[in-house]
Structure 1
Amino acid sequence: MTALIHTILFLFFHVFVSSTFSSDADFYAALNKVVDWVQHDPKCVFNKTILDSETIKSFPDCETVFAIIVVNENTDLTSSQIKKYFSKLTWITGGLRVENSNLTDLAFLPKPEQFTFCFYCENYGVYIRNNSNLVAGFKLPAVYISGNEDGKKNCRFEVENNPKLNAGMMCNGTYLHTDTDIKVVGNLKNCGCTPDVVTENCLSEFAEKTYLAKGLHLTKLNETNQLIYLSNVNQITGAIDIQNTNARDLSFLKSIKNIDFPSVSSVVFNLQNNPEMTRFALPNISSINIPEGTKLFNFENLHPDFCLTIEELIQFFFRHKISFQNIHAKLCNETGKNSSDLMMCGFESMNKLPNNCNIILGDLRVEAGDEMDIVKLDSVYYLFGSLTIRNTKLEKMENLQNLANVAYF
């Protein structure tokens, strides 16, 4: 049998490189992406998977270093010891990860009194997470963190779960550049009210805002009536992260027209641990503009009844070629025609299938004796279920040539 099916399979799970490394191979793949992006002196590349008392001896004696610097629980150095090797350093192209470390401060970043130390982290980011000893009130060195000037590849700047850290000063313009996606949550103190950073305590200040330049990050929000303050937002540049809220859906973004996600391989749209969320319900999905590029979503630990409609899947997720890290969702129970005037049919058998179906719900099975009914599939564009063809006398499958997307979850 010659298969003439030209089907784009919509995958709900996607292999990706995240901000953490599961193996040395992942680390070197990320580092290669950094050094391949720009011209560099090989002598100024630091390619060690961790910064410790042995690897730091090979740290390049350069003003600009190309590296992903990893400080973690296996780092046997103090901040002052690290600083001795960083004394000449003024620019890091790549990124920094300080995770699960024993450091009490970040004073190893040089020249804290001057605005001269820079991260160029378009292809990685800065991650400061799960450091139990980073203390409240230490002064962050003056750091200029830059992504791509056109905003297409913003630098990820994430400061999370550092219980003693007063991280509020990490959110103002002294330390950050405009093309930076900020996530500062779970610390002793997080971002205060700033012009570009949305936080739970500052929602009322966004009542007249139409543009969010640093993404949308909401966490631990119980008073969902405050979400009305975001109803005028029509454009978001950066990642969307909504966690641990009582929001039921995203209908509060009723004016949204443009979402410009960063071009990164990590999650750019995260709905997680929102126990009351039963629907996606992002308004205006058919007219929302999203630039092409990598778009990894994560829908995880929502209400057990959380579901996606056919229209949402077709007009938003299929149209923008969205992939998922996790999708804890089911298909909403719908019948009849949707707003696109496409006919939906539940599948029982080929014999019982109507002739005018554009969308099939259920596992499509074509078996022996169904050969005469195969013409019923001529106008099928979308299948929400599995596809099985077995024990038939069919020689070709041109009747499925209009099938554009298959989603099975």
Structure 2
Amino acid sequence: MSKVFYFFILTSVSNGNIDSTNPICSFTQEFITSESLKQFPKECETVFGNIQIDENCDVSEKQLTSAFKNMKVLYGNLNVYRTNFTSGKFLEGLEEIECDKDGFFSWERNEYMIEIGMKNLTRCCCQFNVNENKKLISMNLPNLKNFSSMDASQMKQIEMLVYDNSPEGCIDIEELSHFIANDNLFMSVLPANFCAHTTDAINGEKTCVFESFNITNMEPDCVRIVGQVRIDSGDEEHVHKLNLLKFIYGTLNIENTNLTTVDFLNELEYIVTLESVVVSITVRNNLQLSNFSLPKLKGVRSSDTLQQGYVQRWISFYDNHESLKKWLVNNSICNPYMDILNETVLYRAEIDKKSCDKTRDIIVNEEVHLEKNVEEWSGKFAILTFLTIPFLFKI
């Protein structure tokens, strides 16, 4: 671990961020083996050091479970690579992990791993990689809710990469609900599928599966919707059923309607899209639409990119009423989603295949051109009037 990270640890202890009544112990071995495990501070709740387990590990899952059973907080990297383990339950007691700036929570190329299974993990302030575990179906991290540093003054952007695991792999809707609430987490790559949802409520909020109905026959009290929400011609009288909607796990399409305003999504807070090369929200061919607002939207996760660069599109507007463009470029919808450091654009809106900035420039240029034309014609009219008045007096 870096000197800066050690300084942060010492500062955290002195500030009371770490409970100084707990044993504070370090582990300096590079890899976990039967020999190095003898040096692991088995009685400590808080451990400082990296835990790296690879194909050379000659320790069983049972032995690891015994060694790690008292550890609740780890300050350091966690890397599990090319093992034959079927899960990470040997770390099930771990509640918090804090890495240094470039540190990783990494599970890669574990051929037989089905799940990570760290059910007590609540905080992980590390770059997050779960890749190429060919039998891994789900992560099973039901209580992981926080990706921020224990030190509130330390801001760190976290990237989540979960890919090339089992073809049947999925991500749990409740896990996503926890993840997307973190402003510093960019879910760059995720599995293509949601895990099957078996309950009708999450956190006491009614959850509806949209594949089983359409908006005409859906109930009006759905707070969370799983699936592709489509509003089409003839659905206008039913849009009030979305008034309570807070979460969409899937996509939203509003197409070919006679709507003049979209004011029925005022409670929408989050939308998470997994399907690749698909924009989270598409608004197309609504020829009377002049107003579109999402006043409570807090976070999006999309998976489509603009052609001009690796910037995700989260919402696209096509072929709507011309006045909608002017509304959008002056609305918060056109504000790009930035990383926590305000350095990188993560998501942006698109209007008729152009960025908001480009659309705004076009509108300004058109207005300037129109103003010049008005001035020109006003001048011509004044000259014509000046020349015509003497003629009228002669008559």
Determine which structure has the larger helix proportion and give its number. 2
Secondary structure at 1:314 match in 2: helix
- 2:4 maps to a residue whose letter is G
C-alpha contact 1:335 1:345 (8 A) present in aligned 2: no
The answer to whether 1:249 aligns with 2:102 is no
- 1:218 maps to a residue whose letter is V
Partner of 1:381: 246
Q: TM-score, normalised by structure 1?
A: 0.49
Shift of 1:377: 0.7
Distance (Å, rounded) in 1 between the aligned partners of 2:173 and 2:245: 14
Shift of 1:147: 3.3
Task: Encode CA deviations 1:215-248: one digit per residue, 9 max, x unaligned.
Answer: 21111110347x4442332221112001111222
Task: Encode CA deviations 1:233-284: one digit per residue, 9 max, x unaligned.
Answer: 2221112001111222122x233233233xxxxxx01001111211121142
Q: 1:314 to 1:254 in 2, by over 3 A?
A: closer
- 1:233 maps to a residue whose letter is L
Partner of 1:277: 136
Matches within 5 A, 1:10-409: 145-148=2-5, 149-150=7-8, 172=28, 195=40, 196-200=49-53, 201=57, 203=64, 205-224=67-86, 227-238=88-99, 239-245=104-110, 246-251=112-117, 253-261=118-126, 268-285=127-144, 288=146, 290-291=148-149, 293-319=156-182, 322-347=185-210, 348-409=213-274
Distance (Å, rounded) in 2 between the aligned partners of 1:321 and 1:405: 15
Displaced runs of 4 or more, over 4 A: 191-195
Shift of 1:336: 4.1
C-alpha contact 2:136 2:165 (8 A) present in aligned 1: yes
Distance (Å, rounded) in 1 between the aligned partners of 2:194 and 2:147: 24
- 1:309 maps to a residue whose letter is D
Shift of 1:289: 6.3
Partner of 2:304: none
Q: TM-score, normalised by structure 2?
A: 0.50
Q: 1:224 to 1:199 in 2, by over 3 A?
A: farther
Secondary structure at 1:374 match in 2: helix
Secondary structure at 2:180 match in 1: helix
Question: What CA RMSD, in Å, does the superposition of the two structures yield over aligned residues?
Answer: 3.1
Distance (Å, rounded) in 2 between the aligned partners of 1:271 and 1:398: 39
- Number of equivalenced pairs: 226
Secondary structure at 2:264 match in 1: helix
Structure 2, unaligned runs of 5 or more: 11-26, 41-48, 150-154, 275-395
Distance (Å, rounded) in 2 between the aligned partners of 1:150 and 1:223: 33
Structure 1, unaligned runs of 5 or more: 1-143, 153-170, 174-181, 262-267
Distance (Å, rounded) in 2 between the aligned partners of 1:295 and 1:391: 39
Secondary structure at 1:400 match in 2: coil
Distance (Å, rounded) in 2 between the aligned partners of 1:241 and 1:211: 17
- 2:194 maps to a residue whose letter is L
Q: 1:308 to 1:338 in 2, by over 3 A?
A: farther
C-alpha contact 1:244 1:274 (8 A) present in aligned 2: yes
Q: 1:151 to 1:304 in 2, by over 3 A?
A: farther
- 1:330 maps to a residue whose letter is N
Please identify the structure whose Cα radius of gyration is greater. Answer: 2
Shift of 1:151: 6.0
C-alpha contact 2:147 2:182 (8 A) present in aligned 1: no
Distance (Å, rounded) in 1 between the aligned partners of 2:147 and 2:128: 15
Shift of 1:398: 1.4
Secondary structure at 1:402 match in 2: coil
Higher relative contact order (CA 8 A, sep 6+): 1
C-alpha contact 2:137 2:166 (8 A) present in aligned 1: yes
